[in-house]
Chain A
């Protein structure tokens, strides 16, 4: 996973904010996974 790297200016301690990253991806990932799952369930009729 790439992280940021300022090319100039003061260098401060890097905060990877992993927890925030995980929460953010879960917030969008779960609804999206639900939508894909529901659609695939419907698609099953196509092959059944």
Chain B
């Protein structure tokens, strides 16, 4: 398997660096399927005779494993290079679908937990961080643009997987024309097998297209001295081991955690929330279920486009400033949403769209923020460790919103006022994140790697 090694993926002279973003996108578009699980959730509930919560655990395990594997495998990914990491990610992600399909065909839910949740989740984590440090090295002049392009794929993956999965489930189930149709378990199993094959091809395309730049390479016309001109951008390097000892790492962790928790608060409740906000006194909502589904789709586009647009903008504004926008303007928009969101549908939709674009932007900008603070040396590993903030937010966000809403009333009886405590809690969280981001200063020189130590660290890794 030597052909997967970093040494075999060094770009030859003349290699076009714009081949690297589609390679990264190929991987992220595949693993982004994780956000399209709702398509077959009801089918699995019926097939296994399980509760929504029991089936929902599949997704929760996958996201927890994403954070854990990114944190644990980050240094391995940096050391072995993107090709081996993407290949490994493909094996786990595809393996997860295959094991999951066996679980579905044999009606063993634990096998779906193990397959899609644990094995697939490991593929998610490795795949998510695999192209990040490589992109940053290829685009030292536009790191935000580069990582935004790749991480946009994670948002876009669900946009592709949802309609494709719906079409395949209809094709695989002979009863798909029936009224009130719910896909059979057999159809979901076949869907898993199909996705496994398609994702294997796409992820291997990414793995064999990606290249790392040769040592000392830099883009034509790029002047590193201009990068140094920015106060928060270092030309030094900090190892992953040392990075987690710095205050800066934990301040960015808090900022990301707050931004993600607030975003998940809206995303998780998107469809029922818009209906509840425009519920009339007779209990009926002005927003139909179909329109609410369209709203969820619009948020997905906001999430995806925010990843690219805001991250690319951060190359001009600087990472700290753009995070001030995500958290500061985000807090203001959340407040308006809580207090005046029910006054007009257009206002509600516009506010939610921008808030979710900030949520996506936070994800896409953070690798470049880490590059600015800690250098390129082990930025992938540091990013992996930072993604534990995502796992924590994935638990905290829904927990905060659901527990507050549970105290407000039963689903179907809630209105705009019922959401105010939850939304204002998110405002408080965003203010905490804003302050954390404000406190970010350059990393102390004692954490910087000296060249001999850097070499030693690489050997140890």
Chain A residues in the interface with B (C-beta under 8 A): 1-18, 20-21, 24-25, 27-29, 31-32, 34-36, 38-40, 42-46
**A27 contact set on B, CB distance < 8 A:** 22, 26, 202, 205
CB–CB B26/A28 < 8 A: yes
Contacting pair B293 A16 (CB below 8 A)? no
Contact partner of B218 among A7, A24, A32, A38, CB < 8 A?
A7
Give the contact-size bracket for chain B: 35 or more
A-B contact count (CB 8 A): 128
With A1-B18, A14-B14, A15-B14 already in contact, the answer to whether A42 and B293 are too (CB < 8 A) is yes
Given A28-B26, A31-B160, A44-B294, the answer on whether A4 and B301 have CB atoms closer than 8 Å is no
User: Do A6 and B159 touch (CB < 8 A)?
Assistant: no
Task: Answer whether A3 and B159 are a contact pair too, CB < 8 Å, given A27-B205, A31-B29.
Answer: no
Q: Are B13 and A32 in touch, CB under 8 angstroms?
A: no
Describe B's contact surface by its main secondary structure: helix
List residues of chain B with CB within 8 A of the CB of A44.
Answer: 294
A32 touches B29 (CB 8 A): yes
Instruction: Name the distance in Å between A46's Cβ and chain B's nearest Cβ.
Output: 4
Q: Are A45 and B25 neighbours in the complex by a CB distance under 8 Å? A: no
Given contacts A4-B13, A42-B294, A45-B288, 9 further A-B contacts (CB under 8 A): A2-B219, A5-B217, A5-B218, A20-B16, A34-B163, A35-B156, A35-B158, A35-B159, A39-B300
Q: Using CB atoms, name the residue of chain B closest to A29.
A: B22
Q: How far is the CB of A33 from chain B (nearest CB, A)?
A: 10
Given the complex, which residues of B lie within 8 Å of A24, measured CB to CB? 19, 22-23, 209
The answer on a CB contact under 8 Å between A14 and B17 is no
Contact check, A4 vs B29: say whether CB atoms are below 8 A apart: no
Residues in B whose Cβ lies below 8 Å from that of A13: 14
B16 touches A4 (CB 8 A): yes
Q: Which residues of B contact A7 (CB under 8 A)?
A: 216-218
Minimal Cβ-Cβ distance residue in B for A39: B297
| Interchain CB contact under 8 A, A3 and B220 | yes
Given A20-B19, A24-B23, A27-B205, check contact A11 B160 (CB 8 Å). Answer: no
